[in-house]
Structure 1
Amino acid sequence: MQRIRKHHSTLGRILGCLLIGLLDLSTLDPVFEGANFQVLTALATSFHALQPLKVPAFSFVWLELVSHRSFMPKLLSTNAQKGWPYFQRLLVDLFQFIEPFLRNAELAEPVRFLYKGTLRVLLVLLHDFPEFLCDYHFSFCDIIPPSCIQMRNIVLSAFPRNMRLPDPSTPNLKIDLLAEISQSPRILSEVDAALKTKQMKSVVDEYLKTRPQGTSFLSELKQKLLLSPSEAARAGTRYNVPLMNSLVLYVGIQAIQQLQARTPHGQSMASNASLAIFLVGAALDIFQTLILELETEGRYLFLNAVANQLRYPNNHTHYFSFILLYLFSESNQEAIQEQITRVLLERLIVNRPHPWGLLITFIELIKNPRYNFWSRSFTRCAPEIEKLFESVSRSCGGPKPVDDGVVAGGISDTMH
């Protein structure tokens, strides 16, 4: 007991020194930016060493220090974004600590406070440093549990400050004609890291480039995505979620590059391509294999990996929106169509913000007659489900499939 008290006393003194260091930072002359940056990165390294996973008793103080006005804004705004990887690592430290509690819905009062504090930090980043969330969205979505829909929506709603988003509910909006829709987003996370770890990258590359006959790649794909029993027990899922996310985005990026290579120089891939050109055969083979071969849990994680790319206007959003709608229209299993709808809908019925690409995709699904959305039995399986679809449809500017008097609210009303 005495040793524990001594240990906590030492940590308390260390954290006290770090706080004094933060306060001193606010008094330093901005002329010494280089020196300031060295102090900031030294503090970031110290915070990483004292992360909540290692010192859980100080998690609240840690979050206060990491998000302090003398640290977070300065680290993210000085020295040409060189501080971004340091803060990305700290945010990952925070997500890794709270992930088991959020995954298991163990929101005791202390965890609830920490969760709310995390949301506040994300909202500050969304407002002041949206490009930071844009560029690292992939690594954050690897850790945020599927159940934390609002937290993930905040990350995915970020868009560059120099961009003006078109209103998704604008009648006859032609997203193909948007200048930004043909541009690739910047991603600072290492998309293929999980593929490399599992020695899958070279196999995926070979399939995408040559689509060899008689290969066992597709038939073995599901097994490669599964965790061992001991890993599954720790992760709370049978599937390797980072590997799933890595596979989906990496395959999509390679498909987009192939499409761009086929498009004549000087022409926009988005505005000149018919739907057929989007069907890069090898990539589509992989996505169709996943949607058909995975059972409910795996399919849900796969669809979430796709939906994580429905963000601001860019060619990733355009491509994955098409993929999701294509999988819906081509499926002859209503269970698959229902699960696609669920993944979109559960991201819309939480409080704002909602990612632009998510809204665009759902509006297209409910308004375009080719998807025959309102004839699906799952939209009519219970009165409360009908009301939910009606509410979301109104909020998205879609058709009104049930009586006008049923619901008079918006998306946020479904939370109550």
Structure 2
Amino acid sequence: MNSTQVYVLFKEWYHICELPGTNDAACTRYILQLHQSGLLKGDDMTDRFFRNLTKIAVEHSIQSESPQQVQSVSFHTIDSYAKLVSSILKCLPVEQGSTKIFLLSKILTVTVRFILKDEEEKKASFNPRPYFRLFINWLLDLGSLDPAIDGANIQILTAFANAFHALQPLKVPAFSFAWLELVSHRSFMPKLLIGNSQKGWPFIQRLLVDLLQFLEPFLRNAELGVPVRFLYKGTLRVLLVLLHDFPEFLCDYHFTFCDVIPPSCIQMRNIILSAFPRNMRLPDPSTPNLKIDLLPEIRDAPRILSDVDAALRAKQMKADVDEYLKTGQPGSSFLTELKQKLLLPPSEVASAGTRYNVPLINSLVLYVGMQAIQQLQTRTPHAQSTGNNSSLTVFLVSAALDIFQTLIQDLDTEGRYLFLNAAANQLRYPNNHTHYFSFVLLYLYAEANQEIIQEQITRVLFERLIVNRPHPWGLLITFIELIKNPRYNFWNQSFIRCAPEIEKLFESVARSCGGLKPVEDSMVSGWVSESTH
């Protein structure tokens, strides 16, 4: 079927749509005619038919847009084409439910290919508006299909999720703003996140990673021109909506998101790390004599849907880590070779903006911490529930701490900062990861044999507190413990006293966290302080 024949068919449909009043009978007759002509089989002819329809609708829409009046663009043809697709999918017989999904996927694939080709050919003059209008129409129309009839809502939404993934900002930068609007639209994102036994969660996670990967080089290099700044603000808004409406989603995928957010993006990361399950009430971190060991939630492991050890497996390091955690041989070659293994190949350094493999560091730190917690619970099953100080000294002889000590001592300033960030990313709502990594950071601070280590630990905690709220609960708990417990001698460190304005800044943040008054009792846990005293 050539483009002229398609044009004639589309013109006929356009006139049906223009008729006053509802004209369901005429619509049904028209779609039946397409069906009988073999245009909806899902073969090459179907491809050509919908590609020509897309071309006619988009070209007419763009031709109607005058350079003087951008708002004058006519979307009549786009709306008619969108209605045709929706009507076809609604009019197919119920028993052809799988055919509907197949046909929708086919139409979306044709649309994606058309957009990719259009952007490649037009470059700077590419116009995203007709495509945005088309997708919005489809999301609104197809989202209203009766699930009782189709049982296919999740399949429809995931078909759109796959199309949006193919059109991600890295592939079609000129479509970025329209893309973000579509991905976060009320007819798409919330519908994929609600119900369906969380089957839609991985799709939204993948789309958010697409967005963050596109932003990463701009944010890392602080190259926020006007367009990128708009996209960044839009991203923050989406994350805040998720924090408010779907906090569990951010909780469960925090590791994946932190992997693609550059260390300099403190507020964005704080939003993700501040999420906590809706059925939990967070104790006020500034409560006097708060003992977090005694909180019932502090014994529970957080649910993590991310693949934590993927980077370790990719670098064939997981077996070595497991072996060392099991045997913990002093002077093991695993420890002496660790720093070298965390470095990127020289060819990748420029594009990554760092000499280190950051996902590998993140993977190593969380995986080692999770194994340590498991070992601790196996050896002393009642330790965390009783808050018994002596039983928890098992932490101090664990192989995991040897790994963390090696990292903090052997890495240079850049590597140490990335390692400490990976640990601080686990300071979230009350759970046993927050508890363990709070212990690790305070222990490393107390045991440090160089002031630069204490200064970097302070920096990693402090820079997350001087940005606007929200602040993760575990971060506040750890910082308050550090500044209030006299055993850490925090206020006498030379880096606090190096300049009056620095000292004032520390005091101001300390006041906002719950005062400067030292307390003899440790809040995070008695065993941290007693072991370092």
Q: TM-score, normalised by structure 1?
A: 0.92
For residues 129 and 2 of structure 1, do their structure 2 counterparts lie closer, same or farther at Cα, with a shift above 3 Å needed? closer
Where 2:354 maps in the other structure, the secondary structure is coil
Residues 24-33 or 203-212, more deviating: 24-33
**Is 1:272 matched with 2:388?**
yes
Compared CA separation, residues 32 and 333, structure 1 to 2 (3 A): farther
Quick one: distance in 2 between partners of 1:354 and 1:332? 29
1: CA distance, partners of 2:122 / 2:372: 57
Secondary structure of 1:140's aligned partner: helix
Task: Give 2:192's match in structure 1, choosing from 75, 79, 93.
Answer: 75
Q: Matched residues in 1 for 2:513 and 2:190: separation?
A: 35
* Rounded Cα–Cα distance in structure 2 between residues aligned with 1:3 and 1:248: 42
Report if aligned partners of 1:278, 1:319 keep a CA contact under 8 Å in 2.
no
2:128–2:178 contact (8 Å) kept in structure 1: no
Tell me which amino acid in the other structure corresponds to 2:465. L
Task: Find out whether 1:261 has 2:378 as its counterpart.
Answer: yes
Does residue 197 of structure 1 match 2:314? yes
Q: Which position in structure 2 is the counterpart of 1:408?
A: none
Query: Is the Cα–Cα contact under 8 Å of residues 130 and 158 in structure 1 kept in the other structure?
Result: yes
Secondary structure of residue in 2 paired with 1:5 = helix
Q: Which residue of 1 aligns with 2:48?
A: none
Q: How far off is 1:21 after superposition?
A: 1.5
Q: Report which stretch shifted further, 20-29 or 349-358.
A: 20-29
Q: Pick the aligned partner of 2:332 from 173, 194, 215.
A: 215
- Which residue of structure 1 aligns with residue 438 of structure 2? 321
Distance 2:394 2:154 in 1: 48
1:112 paired to 2:229:
yes
Q: Name 2:347's counterpart in structure 1.
A: 230
Letter of the 1:73 counterpart: P
1:341, 1:88 → 2: CA distance? Answer: 31
Let me know the Cα RMSD of the aligned residues.
Answer: 2.0
DSSP 3-state at the match of 1:133: helix
Deviation at 1:14, TM superposition (A): 4.9
User: Alpha-carbon deviation of 1:199?
Assistant: 0.3
Classify 1:400/1:16 alpha carbon distance in 2 versus 1 (closer, same or farther; 3 Å).
Answer: same
Q: Where in structure 1 are there 5+ consecutive unaligned residues?
A: 402-416
| Equivalent residues of 1:363, 1:396 under 8 A apart | yes
**SS of corresponding position for 1:80:** helix
Q: In structure 1, how many angstroms separate the alpha carbons of the residues matched to 2:384 and 2:200?
A: 35
Other structure's SS at 1:377 match = coil
Determine the structure 1 residue equivalent to 2:495: 378
Deviations, residues 340-392 of structure 1 (Å, cap 9, x unaligned): 00000000000000000000000000001111111111111101101101101
> Is the alpha carbon distance of 1:330 and 1:246 closer, same or farther for their aligned partners in structure 2, counting shifts above 3 Å?
same
- 1:387 matched residue in structure 2: 504
SS of the residue aligned with 2:468? coil
Read off the aligned partner of 2:387 and give its amino acid letter: S
Q: 1:36 to 1:296 in 2, by over 3 A?
A: same
- Report deviation, 1:78: 2.8
Amino acid at match of 1:327: L
Residue 378 of structure 1 aligns to a residue in which SS?
Answer: coil
Alignment CA distance shift 1:326-1:293 (3 Å) = same
1:330 to 444, 447, 456: 447
State which drifts further: 248-257 or 274-283: 274-283
1:1-29 Cα deviation digits (max 9, x unpaired): 99723998797655443222111144333
- 1:349 aligned partner: 466
The amino acid that maps onto 1:83 is G
- In the superposition, relative to structure 1, how do residues 32 and 146 fare at CA in structure 2: closer, same or farther (>3 Å)? farther
Q: After the TM superposition, which of the residue ranges 18-27 and 282-291 deviates more from structure 2? A: 18-27
Contact 1:33 1:78 in 2 (8 A): no
Aligned to 2:3: none
Instruction: Find the residue that maps to 2:151 and give its secondary structure.
Output: helix
Q: Post-superposition shift, 1:214?
A: 5.0
- Report the 3-state secondary structure (helix = DSSP H, G, I; strand = E; otherwise coil) of the residue aligned with 1:332: coil
Partner of 2:399: 282
Moved more, 41-50 or 212-221: 212-221
Match status 1:186 vs 2:303: yes
Mapped partners of 1:270, 1:242: distance in 2:
35
List gaps (5 residues or longer) in structure 2.
1-117, 519-533
Structural mapping, 1:139-154, within 5 Å? 139-154=256-271
Are positions 1:130 and 2:247 aligned together? Answer: yes
Deviation string for 1:372-415 (max 9, x for gaps)?
111111111101101101101111113169xxxxxxxxxxxxxx
How far off its partner does 1:195 sit?
0.2
Higher relative contact order (CA 8 A, sep 6+): 1
Contact 1:366/1:398 (8 A) holds in 2: no
Larger displacement relative to structure 2 (10-19 or 43-52): 10-19
1:309 corresponds to: 426
Change in Cα spacing, 1:270 to 1:209, as seen in structure 2 (3 Å) is farther
CA shift at 1:287, angstroms? Answer: 0.1
- Mapped partners of 1:63, 1:155: distance in 2: 18
Change (3 A) 1:85 1:3: closer
**1:339 maps to which of 445, 456, 460:** 456
Equivalent-residue separation in structure 1 for 2:123 and 2:223 (angstroms): 30
Seq. identity, %: 78
1:21-40 map, 5 Å: 21-29=138-146, 31=148, 34-40=151-157
Q: Map Cα deviations across residues 19-75 of structure 1 (whole Å, 9 max, x no partner).
A: 221111443335458311110000000000000000000000000000000000000
SS in 2 for 1:65: helix
Match status 1:242 vs 2:242: no
Q: Max radius of gyration: which structure?
A: 2
Amino acid at match of 1:374: W
Preserved CA contact (<8 Å) 2:293 2:384: no
Letter in 1 for 2:144: T
> Given residue 271 of structure 1, which amino acid in structure 2 is its aligned partner?
G
